[in-house]
Amino acid sequence: MMEQYFEVKENLPRDTLLLFRLGDFYEMFYEDAVMASKLLGLTLTKRHDYPMAGIPYHAANNYVGKLLAAGKKVAICDQAESGKIVGKLVRRQLTRILTPGTTLDAAQLDAARNHYLCALAHDRRGLHAAWLDLTTGEFKVATDPRPENLLPVLTALDPAELITAEGALDAWKNAPHEQTALHALANFCATRLVSELPAYQFETASAVRTVMTALGVLNLEGFGLSVSHPGLGPAGALVYYATENLCAKPETLRGLQEYRSAATLLLDPATLRNLEIFASIRGTRDGSLLTALNRTATAAGARLLERWLAAPTLDLPAIRRRQLIVGELLAAPSVLSDLRDRLGAVRDIPRILGRLQNRLRNPRELGGIRDTLAQLPAVHETLAALPVSEISSLKTQIHELPSLRDHLPRALGDELPADLQDGNYIRTGYDPELDRLRSLTTDNKTWLSDLERAEQERTGIRSLKIRFTNNFGYYIEVTKANLHLVPADYIRRQTTVGGERYVTEALKQKEKEIFHAEENALARELALFTDLVTAVLDESLALAQTADTLAELDVLAGWARLARDWDYSRPELDDTDILEITEGRHPVVEQMLKDPSAPAAAVTGPQSFVPNDTALSASEAQIALITGPNMAGKSTYIRQVALITLMAQIGCWVPAKSCRIGLVDRIFSRVGASDDLARGNSTFMVEMNETANILNNATDRSLIILDEIGRGTSTYDGLSIAWAVVEHLHRDETCGPRTLFATHYQELTQLEKHLPRLRNYSVAVKEWNDDIVFVRRVVPGAADRSYGIQVARLAGLPLTVIDRAKTILTKLESDDTTVELTTPKARPRKKITVKPDDAAQMNFL
């Protein structure tokens, strides 16, 4: 047996844990056992001086999921034949290698999230990538001469595992300092599992053959790809890696699409983080835009919403089509309610098909297909209640498949087991031969029950039992107190703590009959199940298209519900440079403040979100410079403008009274303070890196939000940088990127006199007895001061500190002579003297 183990182990990739099937357990040996015992909390045992650790076969999925979450790879070596023949070594073989990017089991996946495996390559032509979701078959390639155009979508996709050529990652890490694209690649890889393949697996010529074989095509012209596309190298590496780990060709692949960054709105990694698109600042889904927009009833719908947010489209007709469907559903509340109820009963067809196609099969998967098909006539009937409209195109893509819909309920039982070996998943009456074999088994078990009663009467042993174990089969169990009553024809098989186990010739013969009948019944049931799987897979294309359409309907119906509950409006999108929002609200903050069950218009009082207007234009009011105190709402305001813009460009209705947006090609943000000490970057360096990315890549069609640029250094250095950044954004004579710039530097408000496309705004506050009240209104004009000391008091600073700060502020303001700046330059340093109440003189330089 250990020879088998080592034969499998030596051919595995490095750092792969091997789970070796022994009866009802998966065993691990040597260093694998030591590692697994630490990660899984298993008891480490020893045999012949080598460490061992095991996990139950039926609970393996949970343990494997924990190993994958820890970034480990797991190889499964199963028994390839029955182990019922005593004394015969069971043949075993490697059945699959599980990695974070190639696992298919539902217990190891988040149903609401896409699960990508991604391959990367970089050369003089730029960054080339391919990503694949084996659970659904989504397969895409991309290439871009500027990696900064491709990395944003890869960051949003958040692949579970990356593949690179051997040595590539080290080369990116150690690239010269000026090669920022390679450093960005290395940073992207730093927090993910990276698997390396030989460089020849990325060669385009061989990769093209690999991809065509996997897709079953003679060329790639049908997918709009030439054989010289640089993304095909990573695509071939993906297919090779998936094939090696599945120990078979991946059967989920339906096609290959090219992703084009020029066709999507890009959000760089900093913006995804700053705007909390997929995760809040705490790293959880709660508090993110994704959660705020998610009203889906299906797992496939939730994943589609995630994909739309990861790559918002610039296709105006597609955006308007989604908006119209949301409007149609919103206008028919009874249809919307019925549709959402029907969708709630739909199962995760894409992932079920993925598992069936890749040999992970159990009766409940077919039950999911059956239950979903049962809902389709009602879905069609519900949609028919709407007038002929945009939603009609979706209706035609939902295939009812009446033959399969009728077949599966006749074949499958109502209650389905999770394991094929449990049997009893084919309905009685479906197959006469199976019914005959089952009756033999039932008759035999009745015979055993009768035998038990007869033996109790014959021997006088009332506690006598006929039992069964996998190791010993059927046996008669007699307690120690009754051993003197055992008849002479009983054959002793085993001694236990409580008594003895016996068999008789009649019992042994009946055991053979029972085993034979059960095995034949199980084999017949498995053959029928295989036929059902074949029938389902024969309709896989129609099922996949239906599932995709139901997912889209799910997202749009969820948005209609969202629009109704929160009083959203349909935004107007066009090709102008305008961004106008009337009474806009922050979609996440608003939901946190209000009771979701109450109508938006009914909620009043201090917890009601205060709406604000926005008016920007690349050629007129290009830059809005916003001043005001901390806690007044500047950051919330500029974020909400970016989020409303993003929502509009995925086709969602928005939290505003009205909205008009000229298409935005990129959203940039520089918000908050953070550092990256692991890579030697201070808070200020991170701020400058993000600012540099914005200034170097923004276009006239971009939207930029900047919050407190320059605060990570000295006052005059920071002011100078902020001043220069504003001038740079305004440098073109006719237009520039639409920009919201929040700042505490009051001096910047002077720029309105010199920059014609800059407008001053402030967040209004009310003062009362040296206290301030935040009214959350953004109004034209500059703030007169920052109210920092009042905010500090609200935060709970000791009154002695507050009083002393007031004294120092008064002295600083009286000694300071404000000089109007017309060009960015530092002020001369002055000596300011402040006398403390009861202390020696203190100098501030």
Place of tokens 């170097």: 696
What is residue 628's three-state secondary structure?
coil
Place of tokens 């006239």: 700
Instruction: Specify whether the CB–CB gap between 723 and 298 falls below 8 A.
Output: no
Flag whether 198 is marked binding.
no
Flag whether 630 is marked binding.
yes
Residue whose C-alpha is closest to residue 507's, from 549, 464, 536:
464
Element (H or E) spanning 802, and its range?
helix 799-815
Element (H or E) spanning 98, and its range?
strand 92-98
Residue whose C-alpha is closest to residue 83's, from 38, 21, 128, 129:
21
Element (H or E) spanning 660, and its range?
strand 658-662
Which residues make beta-bridge pairs with 5? none
For 204-334, list the strands marked E by DSSP: 257-258, 266-267
Flag whether 631 is marked binding.
yes
In degrees, rounded to 5, the angle at the alpha carbon of residue 428 between the alpha carbons of residues 422 and 434 is 70
Cα gap 206→209, rounded to integer Å: 5
Q: What are phi and psi of 262, to 5 degrees?
A: -70, -15
SS (H, E, C) 403-469: HHHHHHHHHECCCCCCCHHHCCCECCCCCHHHHHHHHHHHHHHHHHHHHHHHHHHHHCCCCCEEEEE
Q: Provide CB contacts within 8 A for 340, sequence distance 6+.
A: 297, 557, 558, 561
Flag whether 35 is marked binding.
no
Question: What is the side-by-side strand order in the sheet with 73-79?
Answer: 45-47, 50-56, 25-29, 16-22, 73-79, 92-98
User: Per the structure block, which two tokens stand in for 552?
Assistant: 């889209």
CB atoms within 10 A of CB 11: 9
Q: What are phi and psi of 779, to 5 degrees?
A: -125, 155
What is residue 834's three-state secondary structure?
strand
Flag whether 634 is marked binding.
yes
Cα gap 203→490, rounded to integer Å: 72
CB atoms within 10 A of CB 699: 11
Which residues make beta-bridge pairs with 129? 120, 142
Q: Provide CB contacts within 8 A for 576, sequence distance 6+.
A: 662
Cα gap 600→563, rounded to integer Å: 10
Instruction: Please spell the DSSP secondary structure of 759-800, one letter per residue.
Output: EEEEEEEEEETTEEEEEEEEEES--S---HHHHHHHTT--HH
Pairing of strands 92-98, 73-79: antiparallel
Q: What are phi and psi of 514, to 5 degrees?
A: -65, -50
Place of tokens 């599966």: 408
Instruction: Specify whether the CB–CB gap between 757 and 620 falls below 8 A.
Output: yes
Cα gap 519→361, rounded to integer Å: 19
Flag whether 633 is marked binding.
yes
Chain centroid to CA 777: 36
User: Per the structure block, which two tokens stand in for 217?
Assistant: 């095509």
Binding-site positions for ATP read 628-635
Binding-site positions read 628-635
